[in-house]
Amino acid sequence: MKKASLLICVLSLTMFMGCMAFPYLPGGIYSDVKVPMSTPDDSTGLQIGSKKGEATMVNYLGLVGIGDASIEAAAKDGGITKVKTVDCQFKNILGIIQETTTIVTGE
C-alpha cells in the first residue's frame, strides 16, 4: 500500500510540474529566467529602443493572481509609443510565489 501511495504522489507531482512548464521550464525550488517574446520584423534585426518599461503580475499558490503584465502597461510605464522589443522575466519560488514581468523597449 505504501508503494502505491508513493507512486501516486510521484506521478501527481510529475504531472503538476508538467503543467507548470509553459512557457519555460521552471526549477523545482527556484527559477529566475528571462526569455525573448519578439522577433525581428525586418532584415535589420532587433533594434533595442532607448526607453524601457516594465509591468509585473504576481501569482500566489496558483490561486490568486494580481497585477497587469501587459505590453500596454509596460509601454505606459516607460513612456513608449512605438514598441521595438518585448521580453518576459519569470520568477518562481517553490511554486508558492510566481512573478511574471513584461519588459519592453522602444521610442
What's the length of the chain?
A: 107
Residues linked to residue 28 through DSSP beta bridges, in sequence order: none
Ranges of each domain in the chain: 26-106
Q: In the 8-state DSSP scheme, what is residue 74?
A: H
Residues of the chain with pLDDT under 50: 21
pLDDT value of position 29 = 85
Per the structure block, which three cell numbers stand in for 41? 520584423
What is the rounded distance in angstroms from the CA atom of residue 81 to the CA atom of residue 96? Answer: 35
End-to-end CA distance of the chain: 63
pLDDT value of position 47 = 79
Nearest alpha-carbon partner for 71 in 90, 60, 84, 58: 84
What is the rounded distance in angstroms from the CA atom of residue 35 to the CA atom of residue 33? Answer: 7
Note whether 78 and 51 are within 8 A (CB).
Answer: yes
Give per-residue pLDDT as tens, 39-64.
Answer: 666 556 677 888 999 999 999 988 89
